[in-house]
Structure 1
């Protein structure tokens, strides 16, 4: 098949970070001008025409609509005997309050009031980034995004009347990753982490806002030059405030005795490394900070650090409450006088209850072998607003690879959790845990999800989904688009590559910074094991991944194009060298990949950057999906890679790019746009792997 691609001119441009000169022939596609926008629209039209010609989009959309019904629900949040939650349906999102988690509610606000002036009423509406009720239940703070970018503004709603106040802060939050607002225990104000200038500059600070009063910058002592996220945590009695700093490996770097007049910040747990072995993530319990840490414990342990400790930065002075075990500990959440400790054993979720002295109060039986819903990053998980009481209980979402999300509640002393909202979808499929052996002898686990009735003696069309980055665990949880793929007749392999957090911080360390290439060799080991064991059909093996997982896809298709029938990166990072010029990506690259000021590191980055790896060859079907308002992996990352790969393609398979309007990195993309993105993605995949038709 000959594909008539939009004209993609080249320019005589180069990048020169740390003095290393690197050709950049599609640099012009980084611009946001009329020429680039026209080119981007032409690429989207080509993708739509090509997908339509294969006749699979309608069937794919039907599968997506069916299996997205199991999308994770927003959890209700308690405060002062009330429950606050978001409800979505019929292209509307509302926020309501009720006396029980999912009882009949009173609508507080409809997010349609935040539509931009003159916006088409049928266009995707605003999305809710987060919600946080004040401890006394009189006010509700919400974060609203209007363009899919995740940039959101704080709005205040009076709970009694539903009145939208006009005195919320004007600052823009870069995302929901710092957890929205952190209310003061007296409900008179809150702190938050927001941008100090334009979003593209990625400069942020801690602010405090007094209800009905001013918003000011707080002088929180964080490491010099750090661009990491910060969240303030307050004790329930208002006596203590802790500043937790860093997104993936947070630590309580400073403490302040808030109830003492004139009290100032003082250093607390400082000097820990950024990354493996540097996490202390927990909450204030009484006069101590009780946390899960990977310091001297790669799979995690629970420690207690007195807030008045003379030398809190010395791990030797911490009291160990729960020692390291075979279970990887992930987070700890106070509920009344109890602490809920979550983790996973070979990726499968576990949940226990302990007290403040570390005494084991018993395991909480879960609905199956799967995953507890949790934020990607440890700092976001610290966003506990009004402290939950024992009567409120521990409310959590749970799913598996074959069962969609349900919502459950466990109260201390209960034998088993109660079901608040049951899962809506059960996939007719089987799940098996297997492993491949990497080139260095490391066992790399993966789950195989087969449609019910699949013939295990014959190779199947297989999609590998993987991530392997940032200490983020990819867990055996429900994802609507992947479930739709299995329902269509495909076999899913979810691979747990080094660089992720599934097996503890040693697993993360195994593909961190100078070892990032290990993730790519782990992926190849999994693919080759699937082929050798007769699980995958050699002509029908595909790969997908998002964000940093999109970079994994880019490396895979440029280095081993022979392995794949299709590669589908989503919201991808694809040009590490160009990323050095982008403030947010420079921050990510510096902490996770290498030093952009070091020539040796720059050369290493160029050697694993997909855009730089492209050379003429025969490539499989490639479908690249991106968001026009993505602040993390901006669309020019996808544009440049697609243009260069289209020019290098010597084979017949199409190289398609669709940059969706009103879409970002995924966290604030509207359900309507998500559905279209997923349907195109699945249609391309179904065509490349020759899958079945419309669901029953």
Structure 2
């Protein structure tokens, strides 16, 4: 399924779990000739009419990436950006420190999965440019781990990435989706786990995509798999080839042209499907999303091979997992906006036979994990998460001990009821822990990152900002102990607010870098996410989207009012939907910020749905075809709210030419319009990368170069001077 959560979180928080090695080559490929002022952006008068409202669009010509004039304009903007950024003072020192932090050699492990007694994991290890797939003997000893698939061996350029992997139930074969250049267009290859070699003639094209994502699940015998398939060849017109995803079956040893249709001809155009197999291999589930707005339906295949529909969109079943007890467990928000867990017997798989195991409570249920006799329930209240336990009848068994103000996830079975789980906080790096059900104990495993920073003197303040309508909005504020609240500290605020994505605490080396420089770092938990359940999400989506921007403004105002900072020392950053947030923030309250970094964002809300992935966004944002939704979109659309003669702060827009989720034309049009409108001398810059996409698969060297640009830009805009970190005296070695 489309992993919006992972991608946006990577853009937003830039976690330590994606290390990188330094490189001298810049990510932007434009020529570096000097440019003293922003390039000219010709205006070509175009008018579109929506429900009787005429909307001028003089930069619509910038939408065509293949047009020679657009390419020339793009190159000129990159040259202008390079001319300004490359000469900033302190840049070399910032590069050295950012490289040190992102090149920290402590490995990170993610995507842990057990099959047939074999443990698999994705490993990030500098100086590797991409994460790679390994086989582990034990989570307590990594000395005997074995590399199974390394994208750098497949493609030495570092531009190929593993999207996801799925092993057979016995762990003897594994299907791996890989894509190139940030496109997220992933082909699946099957590997033999024992030898690490690909099976001959076993590649199925484009199982994964940037619009509807992709998924795969094996049959019990491992001789075939069900997978998500996009239209091929001339099956549909070119405009439909990112849509109409269906489920097909592939038998190993046969050409993909003979794969058979299974499910999906009656699915919505913007359907996205996630597949799974029961532990005994007798059942297959298909959870089908209606675009990105949070609506799902569930299909189930029984042991005889018959598919049936278990739930419809209106039933509000949003998650499903197979238990070990002949049942399937469902997360439902029907009459329970914060979620409830249902038990559905597989022998009678109709919703009227489902019983409530975990009723709705104060916390928002994010997910659950069934073991032999327990359910582990992941829930949160405003951002930080916790792991609650119940038995299979719902009897409370207490909480799993976790770090304070932290995130919990990634559960994997260990025996009957023991589990492995990820735990991380704002000040503690990500680690895998083992929870023992027998003695209620937690032990850190060897799959634990160390930190290149000492954050022992950092404190986390949980505050609540009051939004325009009175809603209390959680804000996590990181600062060094003893920081004076005199309004003179540089501050960096980020947020997201959309797609039911909850922003939880996460260890972030670049946040540590910011704190190291005397800054304050803050994360706002805005409406549009699911921090407080579906009501919280609904209050920040469709015609209620303006609430998200009001929430963010309230968080910024809190930082100023409580003397953490002042507007000219406050920087903000966000990516994707968070890039839209940046666009709305700077156009609605330009006086509030000293610097803005808007990454791979959406800024033209009236034409976003003309792009493939923009059509998946309609269930979250709305459509211009609906009069009321058009009115709301037009009211906040960043591009249409840039005002002539406004003193805008310094703004850096980033984009990737291969982005399958947000077309780079959004950044081009926004830059042209803001450069035209601003009366301030602060630069409005475009950093357009020709070799990356939305964030997934970005080579780690390229990531370093982007962060060097970002922090050089922000330091300059806020008047900061880079300060080398204080060197600590090493403790004497034991005799």
Q: If the length of structure 1 is used for normalisation, what is the TM-score?
A: 0.90
Preserved CA contact (<8 Å) 2:338 2:533? yes
TM-superposed CA distance for 1:510, in Å, is 1.4
- Of residues 612, 615, 625, the one that matches 2:640 is 612
Q: Could you tell me how far apart the structure 2 residues matched to 1:642 and 1:446 are?
A: 30
Q: Could you tell me how far apart the structure 1 residues matched to 2:112 and 2:268 are?
A: 37
- Of residues 109, 129, 142, the one that matches 2:163 is 129
Verify: 1:213 aligned to 2:254, yes or no.
Answer: yes
TM-superposed CA distance for 1:189, in Å, is 1.8
TM-superposed CA distance for 1:642, in Å, is 0.7
Q: Could you tell me how far apart the structure 2 residues matched to 1:129 and 1:578 are?
A: 29
Preserved CA contact (<8 Å) 1:242 1:252? no
1:368 aligns to what? 404
Q: Quick one: structure 1 residues 214 and 236, their matched pair in 2 at CA, closer, same or farther if it must change by over 3 Å? A: farther
2:118 aligns to what? 82
Q: Could you tell me how far apart the structure 1 residues matched to 2:418 and 2:704 are?
A: 34
Q: Could you tell me how far apart the structure 2 residues matched to 1:239 and 1:124 are?
A: 39
Q: If the length of structure 2 is used for normalisation, what is the TM-score?
A: 0.85
1:333 aligns to what? 369
- Of residues 721, 725, 734, the one that matches 1:695 is 725
Verify: 1:186 aligned to 2:221, yes or no.
Answer: yes
TM-superposed CA distance for 1:330, in Å, is 0.8
Verify: 1:294 aligned to 2:333, yes or no.
Answer: yes
Query: Within 5 A, what are the aligned runs for 1:610-649?
Result: 610-616=638-644, 617-649=646-678
Q: Could you tell me how far apart the structure 1 residues matched to 2:349 and 2:189 are?
A: 40
Q: Could you tell me how far apart the structure 2 residues matched to 1:407 and 1:248 are?
A: 31
SS of the residue corresponding to residue 519 of structure 1 reads: helix
- Of residues 631, 634, 640, the one that matches 1:603 is 631
SS of the residue corresponding to residue 479 of structure 2 reads: strand
Q: Quick one: structure 1 residues 235 and 278, their matched pair in 2 at CA, closer, same or farther if it must change by over 3 Å? A: closer
Preserved CA contact (<8 Å) 1:131 1:140? yes
Q: Could you tell me how far apart the structure 2 residues matched to 1:62 and 1:403 are?
A: 23
Deviations, residues 95-121 of structure 1 (Å, cap 9, x unaligned): 332322334122323323432xxxxx5
- Of residues 406, 409, 424, the one that matches 2:450 is 424
TM-superposed CA distance for 1:580, in Å, is 2.1
Deviations, residues 65-120 of structure 1 (Å, cap 9, x unaligned): 344348963243222222222333323554332322334122323323432xxxxx
1:652 aligns to what? 681
Deviations, residues 291-332 of structure 1 (Å, cap 9, x unaligned): 2222222222221123344751x5xx5311112222221111
TM-superposed CA distance for 1:256, in Å, is 2.2
- Of residues 82, 100, 105, the one that matches 2:138 is 100
1:7 aligns to what? 40
- Of residues 581, 586, 590, the one that matches 1:561 is 590
TM-superposed CA distance for 1:395, in Å, is 2.7
SS of the residue corresponding to residue 607 of structure 1 reads: helix
Q: Could you tell me how far apart the structure 2 residues matched to 1:212 and 1:621 are?
A: 57
Q: Could you tell me how far apart the structure 2 residues matched to 1:539 and 1:200 are?
A: 47
Verify: 1:410 aligned to 2:453, yes or no.
Answer: no
1:378 aligns to what? none
- Of residues 458, 463, 472, the one that matches 1:443 is 472
Preserved CA contact (<8 Å) 2:210 2:613? no
Q: Quick one: structure 1 residues 36 and 608, their matched pair in 2 at CA, closer, same or farther if it must change by over 3 Å? A: same
TM-superposed CA distance for 1:150, in Å, is 1.9
Deviations, residues 456-490 of structure 1 (Å, cap 9, x unaligned): 34542211101111110011212333332222221
Q: Could you tell me how far apart the structure 1 residues matched to 2:417 and 2:183 are?
A: 33
- Of residues 51, 66, 90, the one that matches 2:85 is 51
Verify: 1:249 aligned to 2:294, yes or no.
Answer: yes
Q: Quick one: structure 1 residues 292 and 411, their matched pair in 2 at CA, closer, same or farther if it must change by over 3 Å? A: farther
SS of the residue corresponding to residue 657 of structure 1 reads: strand
Preserved CA contact (<8 Å) 2:459 2:480? yes
SS of the residue corresponding to residue 49 of structure 1 reads: helix
TM-superposed CA distance for 1:641, in Å, is 0.6
Verify: 1:158 aligned to 2:218, yes or no.
Answer: no
SS of the residue corresponding to residue 460 of structure 1 reads: coil
1:377 aligns to what? none
TM-superposed CA distance for 1:284, in Å, is 4.7
Q: Could you tell me how far apart the structure 1 residues matched to 2:406 and 2:182 are?
A: 29
Deviations, residues 597-618 of structure 1 (Å, cap 9, x unaligned): 2234223312211111112111
Verify: 1:266 aligned to 2:308, yes or no.
Answer: yes
Q: Could you tell me how far apart the structure 1 residues matched to 2:48 and 2:249 are?
A: 40
Q: Quick one: structure 1 residues 61 and 208, their matched pair in 2 at CA, closer, same or farther if it must change by over 3 Å? A: farther
Q: Quick one: structure 1 residues 643 and 92, their matched pair in 2 at CA, closer, same or farther if it must change by over 3 Å? A: closer
Preserved CA contact (<8 Å) 1:574 1:638? yes
TM-superposed CA distance for 1:44, in Å, is 2.0
TM-superposed CA distance for 1:139, in Å, is 1.0
- Of residues 263, 266, 274, the one that matches 1:231 is 274
Q: Which moved more, 1:420-429 or 1:612-621?
A: 420-429
- Of residues 512, 516, 525, the one that matches 2:545 is 516
Preserved CA contact (<8 Å) 2:207 2:215? no
Preserved CA contact (<8 Å) 2:211 2:616? no
TM-superposed CA distance for 1:500, in Å, is 1.1
Preserved CA contact (<8 Å) 2:488 2:569? no
SS of the residue corresponding to residue 502 of structure 1 reads: coil
2:27 aligns to what? none
SS of the residue corresponding to residue 171 of structure 1 reads: strand
SS of the residue corresponding to residue 170 of structure 1 reads: strand
Number of residues paired by the alignment?
668
Preserved CA contact (<8 Å) 2:275 2:284? yes
Q: Quick one: structure 1 residues 103 and 218, their matched pair in 2 at CA, closer, same or farther if it must change by over 3 Å? A: farther
Preserved CA contact (<8 Å) 1:346 1:502? yes
Q: Which consecutive unaligned segments of at least 5 residues does structure 2 have?
A: 1-34, 233-237, 727-735
Q: Could you tell me how far apart the structure 1 residues matched to 2:696 and 2:436 are?
A: 30
Q: Which consecutive unaligned segments of at least 5 residues does structure 1 have?
A: 116-120, 375-383
Preserved CA contact (<8 Å) 1:82 1:97? yes
